[in-house]
């Protein structure tokens, strides 16, 4: 999904304005890729329409180019469709009750054990498992084994017990075992039927759950949308656990289910092992779908921090090789706010190596104070032409700024290195269609 989008986004990146024609291709690519990922066609259509409307109406911010702006619009819309922020489960009651429902083979039993571990490790509460799937051969054993292996108290469901009886008896059991969060592994079917829904409805009367989580198989793609709608109509689901996301189907089902039903996706199952459960983060999935490194966070940071005029002025100076120690100080102060050179380069795809080289070029806070003191102790001439800084001037500056001559030497060396590195980057073309950053 991501490769093609990334490729066509690259083409938009160099453009100077978002127009109907220059986003046409990338929009087409996004539409195709989403359909290929088995996203429901209605969802694709509404997504593409929204992105298009926003992109064409968008005001391109001063310090990002239209391509970056467009990436951000696509990303934000993806996050929006996927539900905004991460949603946790409600375990405020004592005990809290969670029903795991879904079709056979979706991953209910496995996810029950995974969720129990998550609740113990991340939420610090004592979980308990209740095997209530009496129809599938060995389902009770399967959960009891998982419980034993991971030290999770598991209700001793006996052969011949009905689900209603299991739940009734489990109430006392939970009390006796000081269980704070009860996870009920319910029976599945091959498809939704009235008998199953009737049973789940009765269980809900016996012990009211705070959470009814639908466990859905991501590999089912569009079909999972119908399953989710069916369960939701009958049971008012509170969330979704999307399993087998480690397989080929990446995100397509998540996008569709969320858009069609509005049910928040809460967890992703990413493997068969009990630890393979992730809290669902819409922004991460959107990022993965777009495969854009973290250009977006960078755009956001830049919007917050960089003073556009001074950035532009510095860039021009860089081009003309007129960058002075004074500019250097301003830039260091701004970069510091953004997290340093290495942070910025980490955000840019393909700039990883450079980021290692630049690792030591962003000084720590106390160093910045020193640099400031040193530069303030220089004359106007010295600040604008560091070449005049001979030994006696350096000694004078060190004394004046309360630092050592070595500090002054080090600063001048850093400045020269930065200047060299930056003009190299300008020549590489970053100053033109690409990033408009202060260097």
Residue 106 binding ligand GDP, by CB under 6 A: yes
Question: Rounded to whole angstroms, how far apart are CA atoms 417 and 419?
Answer: 5
User: Has 82 been labeled as part of a binding site?
Assistant: no
Q: Pick the closer one to ligand GDP by CB: 139 or 345.
A: 139
Q: Pick the closer one to ligand GDP by CB: 83 or 107.
A: 107
User: What mask, x for binding ligand GDP by CB under 6 A, covers residues 194 to 233?
Assistant: ---------------------x------------------
Cα–chain center distance at 11: 24
Q: Pick the closer one to ligand GDP by CB: 247 or 429.
A: 247
Residue 264 binding ligand GDP, by CB under 6 A: no
Of 106-165, binders to Mg ion (CB under 5 A) are 108-109, 139
66-74, 105-113, 115-123, 328-336 -> range binding Mg ion (CB under 5 A): 105-113
Tracing tokens 């922004």 back to the chain, one arrives at 283
Residue 251 binding ligand GDP, by CB under 6 A: no
Residue 249 binding Mg ion, by CB under 5 A: no
User: Has 108 been labeled as part of a binding site?
Assistant: yes
By Cβ distance, which residue is nearest to Mg ion? 109
Of 272-291, binders to ligand GDP (CB under 6 A) are 272, 276
Residue 244 binding ligand GDP, by CB under 6 A: yes
End-to-end alpha-carbon separation of the chain, Å?
Answer: 34
User: Has 269 been labeled as part of a binding site?
Assistant: no
User: Has 103 been labeled as part of a binding site?
Assistant: yes
Residue 269 binding ligand GDP, by CB under 6 A: yes
Residue 157 binding ligand GDP, by CB under 6 A: no
By Cβ distance, which residue is nearest to ligand GDP? 269
Residue 163 binding ligand GDP, by CB under 6 A: no
User: Has 102 been labeled as part of a binding site?
Assistant: yes
Q: How far is the CB of 133 from Mg ion (least distance, A)?
A: 5
Report which of 85, 96, 94 is spatially closest to residue 212, judged by C-alpha positions: 96
Residue 147 binding ligand GDP, by CB under 6 A: no
Task: Give the Å distances, CA to CA, from 18 to 51, 151, 172, 248.
Answer: 12, 57, 64, 33
Phi, psi for residue 99 in degrees, rounded to 5: -95, 135
Q: Pick the closer one to ligand GDP by CB: 61 or 276.
A: 276
Q: How far is the CB of 102 from ligand GDP (least distance, A)?
A: 6
**Identified binder of ligand GDP from the candidate list 67, 107, 252, 340, rule CB under 6 A:** 107
77-85, 242-250, 313-321, 414-422 -> range binding ligand GDP (CB under 6 A): 242-250
Q: How far is the CB of 186 from ligand GDP (least distance, A)?
A: 9
Q: How far is the CB of 167 from ligand GDP (least distance, A)?
A: 17
**Identified binder of ligand GDP from the candidate list 15, 22, 104, 297, rule CB under 6 A:** 104
Residue 101 binding ligand GDP, by CB under 6 A: no
Question: Rounded to whole angstroms, how far apart are CA atoms 341 and 364?
Answer: 12
User: Has 243 been labeled as part of a binding site?
Assistant: yes
Q: Could you list the residues that contact ligand GDP (CB under 6 A)?
A: 102, 104-110, 188, 215, 243-244, 246-247, 269-272, 276
Q: Which residues bind Mg ion (CB under 5 A)?
A: 108-109, 139
Residues that constitute the known binding site: 102-109, 185-189, 243-246
Q: From the annotation, which residues make up the binding site for GTP?
A: 102-109, 185-189, 243-246
């Amino acid at each position: 999904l991501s490769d093609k989008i990334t490729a066509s986004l690259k083409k938009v990146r160099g453009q100077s304005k978002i127009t109907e024609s220059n986003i046409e291709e990338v929009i087409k690519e996004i539409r195709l890729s989403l359909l290929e990922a088995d996203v429901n066609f209605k969802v694709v259509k509404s997504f593409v329409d929204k992105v298009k409307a926003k992109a064409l109406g968008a005001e391109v911010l001063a310090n990002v180019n239209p391509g970056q702006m467009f990436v951000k619009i696509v990303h934000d819309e993806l996050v929006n469709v996927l539900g905004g922020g991460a949603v946790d489960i409600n375990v405020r009651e004592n005990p809290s009750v969670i029903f795991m429902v879904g079709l056979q083979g979706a991953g209910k039993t496995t996810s029950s054990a995974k969720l129990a571990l998550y609740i113990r490790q991340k939420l610090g509460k004592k979980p308990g498992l209740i095997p209530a799937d009496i129809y599938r051969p060995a389902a009770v054993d399967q959960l009891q084994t998982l419980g034993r292996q991971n030290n999770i108290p598991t209700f001793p469901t006996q052969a011949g017990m009905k689900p209603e009886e299991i739940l009734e008896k489990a109430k006392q059991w939970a009390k006796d075992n000081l269980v704070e969060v009860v996870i009920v592994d319910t029976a599945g079917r091959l498809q939704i039927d009235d008998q199953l829904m009737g049973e789940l409805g009765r269980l809900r009367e016996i012990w009211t759950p705070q959470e009814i989580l639908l466990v859905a198989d991501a590999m089912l793609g569009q079909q999972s949308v119908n399953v989710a709608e069916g369960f939701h109509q009958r049971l008012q689901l509170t969330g979704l656990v999307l399993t087998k996301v480690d397989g080929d189907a990446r995100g397509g089902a998540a996008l569709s289910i969320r858009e069609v039903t509005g049910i928040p996706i809460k967890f992703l199952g990413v493997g068969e092992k009990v630890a393979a459960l992730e809290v669902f983060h819409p922004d991460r999935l959107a990022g993965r779908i777009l495969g854009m490194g973290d250009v977006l966070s960078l755009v956001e940071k830049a919007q917050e921090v960089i003073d556009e005029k001074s950035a532009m002025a510095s860039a021009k100076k860089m081009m003309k090789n007129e960058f002075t120690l004074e500019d250097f100080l301003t830039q260091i102060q701004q970069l510091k706010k953004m997290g340093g050179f290495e942070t910025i380069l980490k955000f840019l795809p393909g700039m990883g190596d450079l980021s290692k080289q630049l690792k030591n070029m962003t000084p720590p806070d106390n160093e910045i104070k020193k640099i400031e003191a040193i530069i303030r102790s220089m004359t106007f001439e010295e600040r604008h032409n560091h070449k005049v800084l001979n030994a006696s001037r350096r000694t004078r500056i060190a004394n004046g700024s309360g630092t050592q001559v070595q500090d002054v030497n080090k600063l001048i060396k850093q400045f020269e290195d930065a200047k060299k590195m930056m003009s190299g980057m300008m020549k590489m073309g970053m100053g033109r269609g690409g990033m408009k950053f202060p260097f």
